[in-house]
Chains A and B, each alone.
Chain A
């Protein structure tokens, strides 16, 4: 059986998963940077694998390096990846660097109704990254800070930039940092859950993408939907995994 590689070129990070049949052989990742193609080359020091599927917003760009590669959308890739990890999942939530996707899963990881944020970064990983920077913290420390909050203010701004302004105003009013951090996390989860409801949220819910590594986001999603989401060990690898598994089942 040939090895199949899935490559997910996202806005913040690039992941590679190599499978043979249904078995995962390796996983690698690198930050996207402003030169994603160099990053991709570095992820394949021995050249590209014989069969490659590319997903993520850089999928078309990758074809300039690997003209033989196949492409699939990140929506389909995440659905296949999540269904392989959690075959019972009925709904999928993926919060990545610049996109959030809510997908109703059909049997076999097929995509039913789906929603995706439009051009704005509100409700995505970028929002948390941006607000963490405004606090002078890493995203991990920002999540830890938020977990200590108890009385989060409502952040009503829909905009990443204005949310920071709102946070600054709250700080000036003496609201605690932990509470503001929690409020900012709640703001993105509220947007996300609205998307989940529009596609017809059903349990179990698989939560993948880089933001699923954020324990505060996971806790808030669980509170908002009323049950705990299923989160894989490496949630940011789900798209690359799905692309590889899709390719393994696609005749060459």
Chain B
């Protein structure tokens, strides 16, 4: 694909071409510094490099071709949107990443200044006309996981065709019933969008496809228990990030290939860092593309990340959807049950998250836990304190970091992370 063809496509999507070129240039440089500089990378990481280099190119082309063939495109911000249903409706689902500062001043005309960078980012990308995914969407699905997002969706809804799912804040029987009805409502929204009914056969097939993707990610997660670590935390994060926008079946195949290579590497006792390198579990807020700041700081401070307890990480692949129900209503029940297992910080209480972190750290042989809170993300800021107490009880060294998409705190963060790693060595 030539640059000119890409540019013509971006122009048709009404992107701000000059600003978009600048964004891609920064992204390319950032990727080179953080990813291509890594030593001993897996050969299968070529897939990651290719997908990322064509993140606004070939993947958008595929999506445009799917649209031309009559498919609808659904954009999401959160792991509560059931991908099974989107695929069963014959739609393409893409995660709208929101991991970079873009259009911040414009965004601050629609959301308060003391809003987290993730929200400002998706509003900013839309207002600054920088994201070909948002511009390709026929429907954008929001969810009520935090006050910042739910109010931002009110403003965003004036810019895009939106459907907002209500996510309960507790986990009692009535909450499950509420989310079950929200799944029904989402199904109706999809049927209205496509003009076709979602069938049991289509949902069964879509559930198998999404579970296959989750199984591949689970396999990758388990392989990271090996010492030396067979994959860097940065690359594993990228795999999880790509899972939100690449074609699901291609992604599953490629991740399984990556796992095959990791198994060979583990059998040979090889890895990306010497055996005995301090191993850290990263917990907390999701890191959307290209929010690689903290993993890079950690992995350039003499440690290796062995897991991501995050929505763009283990939380998204931990639970499978039950494939046994045969009729549509029972399948929708199974979806509600699967999604209500998510231990998002929006729930109260959310004790299972603390147990999951300690268990995951143990399974992966982590020497410590780093908690990442995005500045102004109140649910995770509260849980950072609770996780700290839980890790103390579990005997796991713990470092809580609160930061945003800016780079001005990189020096101080590096000192804190290096000092934490020094205490583990």
**Which A residues are within 8 Å of any B CB, using their own CB?**
57, 72-76, 99, 110-112, 114, 116-119
Contact = CB atoms under 8 A, between A and B. Distances in A.
B419 A73 contact: yes
A75 B418 CA distance: 9
Nearest to B397: A113
B422 A72 contact: yes
Interface string B230-255: 00000000000000000000000000
Contacts of B416: 75, 114, 116
B409 A110 contact: no
Interface in B407-425: 408-409, 411-412, 415-416, 418-420, 422-423
B376 to A, nearest CB: 13
The 10 residue pairs across chains A and B that have the minimum distance between CB atoms: A75-B419, A119-B409, A73-B419, A73-B418, A111-B423, A76-B422, A73-B415, A116-B416, A57-B411, A119-B408
A68 B354 CA distance: 43
B319 interface: no
B402 interface: yes
Contacts of B423: 76, 110-112
A57 B419 contact: no
A75 B409 contact: no
A199 to B, nearest CB: 12
A118 B411 CA distance: 10
Nearest to B392: A113
25 contacts: A72-B422, A73-B415, A73-B418, A74-B419, A75-B415, A75-B416, A75-B422, A76-B419, A76-B423, A99-B415, A110-B423, A111-B419, A111-B422, A111-B423, A112-B423, A114-B419, A114-B420, A116-B412, A116-B416, A118-B402, A118-B409, A118-B412, A119-B408, A119-B409, A119-B412
B412 to A, nearest CB: 6
B320 to A, nearest CB: 38
A72 B411 CA distance: 14
Chain B contact residues, majority secondary structure: helix
A110 B418 CA distance: 14
B415 A116 contact: yes
The residue among B403, B411, B419, B420 with the most chain A CB atoms within 10 A of its own CB is B419
A57 B422 contact: no
Interface of B: 402-403, 408-409, 411-412, 415-416, 418-420, 422-423
The residue among A57, A99, A110, A118 with the most chain B CB atoms within 10 A of its own CB is A118
Contacts of A119: 408-409, 412
Given A72-B422, A74-B419, A75-B416, 11 more contacts: A57-B415, A75-B415, A99-B415, A110-B423, A111-B419, A111-B423, A114-B419, A114-B420, A116-B416, A118-B402, A119-B408
Contacts of A99: 412, 415
Contacts of A74: 415, 419
B413 to A, nearest CB: 8
Contacts of A114: 416, 419-420
A191 to B, nearest CB: 15
A114 B424 CA distance: 13
Contacts of A111: 419, 422-423
B361 to A, nearest CB: 18
Nearest to B416: A116
A114 B417 CA distance: 11
A117 B402 CA distance: 11
Contacts of A112: 423
A112 B368 CA distance: 13
A116 B402 CA distance: 12
The residue among B409, B411, B423 with the most chain A CB atoms within 10 A of its own CB is B423
A116 B412 CA distance: 8
Contacts of B420: 114
A73 B408 CA distance: 18
B105 to A, nearest CB: 20
Nearest to A115: B416
A205 B317 CA distance: 47
A244 B246 CA distance: 52
A112 B398 CA distance: 10
B404 to A, nearest CB: 10
Contacts of B403: 118
A119 B422 CA distance: 21
Contacts of A110: 423
Contacts of B409: 118-119
B278 to A, nearest CB: 14
Nearest to A11: B411
A57 B416 CA distance: 11
A111 B415 CA distance: 13
A102 to B, nearest CB: 12
A74 B419 CA distance: 8
Contact of B422 (A73, A116, A117): A73
Contacts of A116: 412, 415-416, 419
Contacts of A73: 415, 418-419, 422
A181 B409 CA distance: 29
B418 to A, nearest CB: 5
Nearest to A116: B416
A132 to B, nearest CB: 23
Contacts of B422: 72-73, 75-76, 111
A181 B411 CA distance: 30
